Structure 1
Amino acid sequence: MSLGKDHACVIVRAYKGIALVDTWTDSEIDLTVADYFAMLAEELAGRAVNKAARYRALAELIPRSAKSVERKHQNISAVMIGFGQPWIAGLKPARHYQLALEDGVQRWLDAHPGWLKPNRSAGVAQVVADTPRLWIGPPPTHRNEPPPVDPRLMAAVAMKYDIAGRDERNSALGRAGEAVVLHHERTTLVDAGRHDLAARVRWISDQDGDGFGYDIASFDQDGRERLIEVKTTNGWERTPFHISRNELAVSRERHDDWHLIRVYNFARRPSAFALRPPLESYVELTATSFSARFV
């Protein structure tokens, strides 16, 4: 049955063996999601947020209990991971949420498409200056710490709403990520005393255009080529990403030189990890579009 915008979306949860019905309308969800993003914007700007006061204020408006509002905010944290968005520190993602929350977050993002876009007018130099030194660690599949939520569930959310496509279309985000990696490559070579190689690092996608299968031409300290494809997201490390057929082909043809650097958490504190061919050792590659021709 299809529910209208202001009809109740129902979930059932167990409490002391009794099934209780917790109903939140789309209007209540929209207010709660908007409040969440307002709090997140304050936090990302480095301003303190009184979470308890925000819960009480929203609880009076909806009306709901402050504890219920807090729990809903934790649910939104889980949804934000699936959407490839940062989430509020201290609001541990709570996985068991009503599906209507996903649509509520989607509505907010559709109404505010540029809310996390890097400032183009600031220029590349300013983006680099405002970004801490990039830390590049092992890929998430090689780490011991458990993820905050089930990656399979979050991957399903990301696929449903095409989060990889959203990041790919965000050209300002992609350019900013490439600028940070470019600076990292040059700085690493300078620190190693290879000023000669640092001067030869080239931003291919900016200076020569797309289509080469990599964004940056750099070097190892011994002079070996490093062909770097950069993929950037504001979300967590497991946010899916798009890779083109040409990029994949170059990764296979130049497998000794090709590197994919995945920059994540860009809106808060950018970190990264590197993947080396074959990519299938780390990720599952899924065809997302097909070329159709008449026969």
Structure 2
Amino acid sequence: MSTGDWSDMENDAVVASYFSMLSDELSGRAYNKAAQNRLLQERTGRSRGSIEFKLCNVSAAVQGLALPEIRGYKPRFNFQMSLAEAAARWLAQHPEWEQALYRSRPREIAEPQPLFVGIAPTLRNAPPPDELEQMQRVARRFDVVGRDARNRALGYAGEERVYHHERAHLAQHGRSDLVKEVRWVSKEDGDGAGYDIRSFTLEGRERLIEVKTTNGWERTPFHISQNELEVAQERREDWCLFRLYDFARTPRAFELRPPLEAHVSLTATSFLASFTDRTEQ
């Protein structure tokens, strides 16, 4: 039996097996974990128990990469960064997989039921500091925030889900008069308004909703623009951030209301470079 650190070839093999099983699970297809383990034993020379433990490490790595993990492989942390690098390599070689990930779910009816909107992450429900730091380190290293932001299919699907959620919520509470007034602003008018959906409270007050969607866990970081922050400040009584997570499996959500600094740490990640007239200096 092989011992010691896992090589890149071994990591690539276990990651490929993991994504194969994850694809089957998300699509509702049957798969055989024991058969996959035996195949990996042949390919790597590792023991059954070692492979099972490594697959749990992969669950932790893909969680850091803002992806769903396989049920039954509970994330085990303190994995080597080389394992996250192997997962990132697999994703780079299969770009179509993540682009279509949200479509792995069964198609919902035209007007789905409202989402369950739960409690936002807080210090009280945070994972152990070492685990959280490892997740954040993977997220920074592989720019999962930028990847989510660039995934137009994911962003569009998330906004669509929230649009139908708002309409269904109003309809269920007897405000059919407001249902037809809900607008998908980013789709109809384009980006730039500082929010994606214009909806209403049951009392008829405007709800300006900025949607942020991820296939990852609830603490996956996200991008927010300067314009969105300014609108949040100007319309703080009406604006909210609607965070959708675990979107590829069973979408869950929570809301954040201004000031956002009360809920999250805002970190500048880029700067605007403008030309100035040096004669004015």
Both proteins in one fold, TM over 0.5: yes
Aligned counterpart, 1:164: 145
Inter-CA distance 148–288: structure 2 relative to 1 (3 Å threshold): closer
Q: Which residue type is aligned with residue 97 of structure 2?
A: W
Aligned counterpart, 1:14: none
**The structure with more strand, counted as a fraction of residues:** 1
- Return the alpha-carbon distance in structure 1 between the equivalents of residues 35 and 195 of structure 2: 48
Q: Which residue type is aligned with residue 46 of structure 1?
A: G
After superposition, where does 1:3-152 map in structure 2 within 5 Å? 22-118=4-100, 129=110, 133-141=114-122, 144=125, 146=127, 150-152=131-133
Aligned counterpart, 2:189: 208
- Return the alpha-carbon distance in structure 2 between the equivalents of residues 65 and 239 of structure 1: 33
TM-score w.r.t. structure 1 length?
Answer: 0.86
Q: Is the 8 A contact 1:216 1:229 kept in 2?
A: yes
Q: Is the 8 A contact 1:128 1:179 kept in 2?
A: no
Q: Is the 8 A contact 1:93 1:149 kept in 2?
A: no
Note if 1:249 corresponds to 2:230: yes
Q: Is the 8 A contact 1:84 1:163 kept in 2?
A: yes
Per-residue deviation at 1:118? 4.1
Per-residue deviation at 1:148? 11
SS in 1 for 2:98: coil
Corresponding residue pairs, total: 272
SS in 2 for 1:23: coil
Q: Which residue type is aligned with residue 94 of structure 2?
A: H
Per-residue deviation at 1:155? 1.3
**1:9-41: CA deviation from partner (whole Å, max 9, x where unpaired):** xxxxxxxxxxx9612111111111000000101
Identity %: 54
Q: Higher RCO, 1 or 2 (CA under 8 Å, sep at least 6)?
A: 2
* Alignment partner of 1:177 out of 158, 176, 190: 158
Per-residue deviation at 1:67? 1.1
Inter-CA distance 186–131: structure 2 relative to 1 (3 Å threshold): closer
Structure 2: segments with no counterpart, 5+ residues: 277-281
Aligned counterpart, 2:279: none
Q: Which moved more, 1:98-107 or 1:199-208?
A: 98-107
Q: Which moved more, 1:141-150 or 1:189-198?
A: 141-150
Superposed CA RMSD in Å reads 2.3
- Return the alpha-carbon distance in structure 2 between the equivalents of residues 41 and 130 of structure 1: 26
Inter-CA distance 149–45: structure 2 relative to 1 (3 Å threshold): farther
TM-score w.r.t. structure 2 length?
Answer: 0.90
Per-residue deviation at 1:158? 0.5
- Return the alpha-carbon distance in structure 2 between the equivalents of residues 144 and 97 of structure 1: 23
After superposition, where does 1:260-279 map in structure 2 within 5 Å? 260-279=241-260
Inter-CA distance 46–129: structure 2 relative to 1 (3 Å threshold): farther
* Alignment partner of 1:189 out of 127, 148, 170: 170
Q: Is the 8 A contact 1:259 1:277 kept in 2?
A: yes
Per-residue deviation at 1:247? 0.3
Q: Which runs of 4+ in 1 moved over 4 A?
A: 126-133, 142-149
- Return the alpha-carbon distance in structure 1 between the equivalents of residues 204 and 116 of structure 2: 22
Per-residue deviation at 1:105? 0.7
Per-residue deviation at 1:48? 3.0
- Return the alpha-carbon distance in structure 2 between the equivalents of residues 101 and 90 of structure 1: 19
Q: Is the 8 A contact 1:229 1:259 kept in 2?
A: yes
Q: Which residue type is aligned with residue 68 of structure 2?
A: P
